[in-house]
Amino acid sequence: MHRLFGLLAVMAAGLGVYLLFADTAPSGPGKALDNAPIAYSVWALGLLMGLTLAWLASINWSTVPARIVTWVRLQRRRLWLALLGGICAGILVLF
């Protein structure tokens, strides 16, 4: 599935480059940007969304909870110190 999303993102990039530089109107060279549609921001948003979906499809979601638990166990001391520091900072700010 991630290959399909990647292919669609590359196809969108190719279409966008074609629309950006293609001169369909006979108004002379360099006038392609004057005739281009205004919705290039939507095209760029769609391209980023396709790339994001391709990246998200490549993640093995069944192992995410186990990886989070392992990370918390490894970072237990740092998390405790951060919590303690946050409590002390909260007391200093509130009083």
Query: Of 3, 1, 6, which is closest to residue 50 (Cα–Cα)?
Result: 6
Can you give the pLDDT at residue 28?
54
Can you give the pLDDT at residue 64?
93
Q: Please report which confidence band the pLDDT of residue 85 belongs to, taking 50, 70 and 90 as the band edges.
A: very high
Can you give the pLDDT at residue 58?
83
pLDDT tens-digit profile of 25-59?
545 555 555 555 655 667 777 777 877 887 888 88
Q: Model's pTM, two decimal places?
A: 0.46
Percent of the chain with pLDDT strictly greater than 90: 34
